[in-house]
Amino acid sequence: EVHLLESGGGLVQPGGSLRLSCAASGFTFSSYAMSWVRQPPGKGLEWVSTISDSDGSTYYADSVKGRFTISRDNSKNTLYLQMNSLRAADTAVYYCAKDSMRNRLDLYFDYWGQGTLVTVSS
Amino acid sequence: DIQMTQSPSTLSASVGDRVTLTCRASQRISSWLAWYQQKPGKAPKLLIYKASSLQSGVPSRFSGSGSGTEFTLTISSLQPDDFATYYCQHYNSYSPAFGPGTKVDIK
């Protein structure tokens, strides 16, 4: 059974940093692209970033480009999101999500974690 | 970037109703469209991909159609478990985007 478990969320001051992790199990992690999607409280979904399975190519939403860095450790079956220069507008539940197709970059998501809340406030 | 819109923003319906939700893309996206269901406090669940392909394990009362810029999600007979918010998402580029959602609530 596929399982994705995010951690690392919390309260951080504007301008601060936070690192999210997503521990994956139940599938061959190294064969799938992985993504982060966020949802501000009471609002809709926003794609944040994706990392490919093979060559580690990365993609970012304009709203986070230059501030967030996605990475993965295939030996630990773990996905990361390093978030720097955080703003109030980054406040959201952050979900990690698995790409649907093996060894491809399709960018639609068949499994999601339960999410971790990041609150940026002074 | 491609923008997604959904209508209506809220739909009130009764159990057993046939409901149709609409999603539009600002540019042609072929059939690169997915639909998700989300309930309060839960992660989204994939229902439909490639505009009309039913994800494994999803009840057959859900169906998707469309291509280009206009898409629909139809629930043939609304069940109590279907009251939720539905999002469309294009994946036509390396900058995927979600629509703002349609909330289906009880009439």
For residue A101, what are the contacts with CB-CB under 8 A and spacing of at least 6?
A: A32
Whether residue A113 is predicted with pLDDT greater than 90 in this model: the reply is: yes
Whether residue A54 is predicted with pLDDT greater than 90 in this model: the reply is: no
Q: Is A1:A109 a contact under the CB 8 Å cutoff?
A: no
Would an 8 Å CB–CB cutoff place A46 in contact with chain B? Answer: yes
Max CA distance (Å), chain A: 42
Assign B25 a pLDDT band (cuts: 50, 70, 90): very high
**Contacts A105 to B, Cβ<8 Å:** 94
Whether residue A55 is predicted with pLDDT greater than 90 in this model: the reply is: no
**Contacts A109 to B, Cβ<8 Å:** 34, 44, 46
Chain mean pLDDT for chain B: 97
Would an 8 Å CB–CB cutoff place A101 in contact with chain B? Answer: no
What does the block give as tokens for A107? 């960018």
CA–CA separation, B70 and B84 (whole Å): 22
Interface test with B, best of A108, A112, A116 (most B CBs within 10 A): A108
Q: Strand pairing partners for A99?
A: A109
Segment A82-92, tens digit of pLDDT = 999 999 999 99
Q: What is the pLDDT of residue A88?
A: 98
How close, in Å, is residue A22 to chain B by CA atoms?
14
Question: Would you say the C-alpha torsion B58, A111, B31, A61 has a positive or negative sign?
Answer: positive
Nearest Cα residue in chain A from B93? A107
**Contacts B45 to A, Cβ<8 Å:** 112
Assign B57 a pLDDT band (cuts: 50, 70, 90): very high
Segment B61-87, tens digit of pLDDT = 999 999 999 999 999 999 999 999 999
Kindly state the percentage of chain A with pLDDT values over 70. Answer: 100
Segment A8-32, tens digit of pLDDT = 999 999 999 999 999 999 999 999 9
Q: Do A115 and B101 touch (CB under 8 A)?
A: no
Q: What is the pLDDT of residue A65?
A: 98
Mean pLDDT on A56-84: 97
Segment B30-54, tens digit of pLDDT = 999 999 999 999 999 999 999 999 9
**Contacts B95 to A, Cβ<8 Å:** 47, 59, 61-62
Give me the count of residues in chain B: 107
Distances (CA, A) of A54 to A30, A58, A69, A75: 7, 11, 17, 13
Whether residue B3 is predicted with pLDDT greater than 90 in this model: the reply is: yes
